[in-house]
Amino acid sequence: MKRAQYTERGPDPQASIAAVELATPEPAAGQALLEVLAAPINPSDVLTLTGLYGMLPPLPAVGGNEGVGRVLAVGPDTQGPAIGQTVLLPVGCGTWSTHVLADAKSLMPLPNDADPLQLAMMTVNPPTALLMLREFVDLQPGEWVIQNAANSGVGAYLIQLAKVRGLKTVNVVRRESAVAGVRETGGDVVLVDAPDLAKRVREATGAAAIRLGIDAVGGTSTDHLAMSLAEGGVLVNYGAMSGEPCQLSPASFVFRNITLRGFWLSKWFIGSTPAQRIAVFGEVATLIATGKLKSRIQATYGIDQIKQAVAAAAAGERNGKILLVPNAQ
C-alpha cells in the first residue's frame, strides 16, 4: 500500500508531502480493510499542510480527511458492512492512501451504484452547506438566501440544496469570470461583489426580505452581505478567503439588529450525536445517488502524483475539485 505522508509544514504545501510505500496491513478482529476509491483535496487540507488551519494533527501525518472506499477484507469475528460494500471513510483517518484500516461496525454503507467521485466529497462541503441553510434561520419555500464565494465547493452545494428546499439564491462572486459557472450551477441571481452590492440585490430580488446570509470571504465583503439583509437578519461566517477579519458597520448591529454567527463543521461533529450525523450523511448520500447534488471535478490524480495534485488544489483559479484516486494505474 501507499499513503501520502508529510513530516513538516511550510509555505509550499506540495513540498513536504510524498507517497510512501508500506506493507498492506491485515485487519484484526473488529476491523475492516478498505480500498480507497477516491478522496478530495480541500482548502482545509492545503491550510493544514502550510500550518495555517485551526486544527493540526501531530507529525508525521497522512493527508486527507474525507473520502469513500470499498470493503476488501474483514478481521475474524467481525460485524459490519459486507466485502464489496461501498462505505464512507472515517473522518480524519488519512484518506490520501491506497488502503485504510477502520473499525468495521462504525462504517456507514453508501449506495454501490452511486458515483464514487461524487460520494468522496460528501463529508465536508455538503453537510456544511446543508447545516448553514437550516440551523440558523427557519427559511420557508420561496424565500431568498444570499451567499458570497458562490463559485466555491460549498457555494455550489448550497445552490443545489436551496433548490431542493424551494429557496432562491443570490450568489456573490469576486470576479466576472466566475459568473457563468455559478449560473450554470443554478444560481438564481449572480452578482460581482462591490460596495453597491445591497442596492443591486434589492433591484434583482424586488426588494425581497432576505433573512439569511452566508459569508466565506470576510473583510469588507462581510459588510456588503450584511447591508443586503433584512432587518433582524442572520449572517453566518464560515471562512476568510480574503485573509482579512470580518468587517461590519456598527449601524448593522445597532440600527438593523443584524446578528453575526460562526460555523465550523468540526465543532458540529464534536457536539452532534451519532444519530444526527447519520441523518445528515444519509440525506446527502441520497441526494448524490439520485443526481440532485453534485460537484464539478477539474482533475483526478493517482497517489504517486500527490505533489502535482496538491499544487493543483492550491492554485488560485480552478474550475472544479481536485481528487485523488489512489489506486488508479
H helical segments located in 106-166? 116-119, 125-135, 153-164
User: Model confidence over 240-257: pLDDT tens digits?
Assistant: 888 899 999 998 989 999
Q: For helices 43-50 and 306-314, give the axis angle rounded to 10 degrees.
A: 110
**Which residues are known catalytic residues?**
53
Check residue 236 and give left, alpha or beta (phi > 0: left; psi -120 to 50: alpha).
Answer: beta
How many beta carbons lie within 10 A of that of residue 267, not counting itself?
11
Which residue segments constitute the domains of the chain, with CATH numbers given?
2-121+295-324 (3.90.180.10), 125-266 (3.40.50.720)
In sequence order, what are the residues at sequence separation of 6 or more whose Cβ sits closer than 8 angstroms to the Cβ of residue 69?
34, 35, 36, 37, 86, 87, 89, 100
Is residue 234 helix, strand or coil? strand
pLDDT, position 131: 98
What are the CA-CA distances from residue 249 to residues 51, 84, 215, 229, 301 (Å)?
A: 31, 55, 15, 13, 44
The separation between the first and the last C-alpha atoms of the chain, rounded to the nearest angstrom, is 13
pLDDT, position 241: 84
Model confidence, pTM:
0.88
In 3-state terms the chain splits into helix, strand, coil percentages (rounded to 5) of 30, 25, 45
Sign of the alpha-carbon dihedral angle for 56, 62, 68, 72? negative
Residue 242 C-beta-side C-alpha neighbours within 13 Å: 18
User: Model confidence over 133-174: pLDDT tens digits?
Assistant: 999 999 999 999 999 999 988 999 999 999 999 999 999 999
pLDDT, position 317: 66
Separation of alpha carbons 100 and 29, rounded Å: 15
- Which residue positions in the chain have pLDDT lower than 50? none
pLDDT, position 198: 97
190 grid coordinates: 449572480
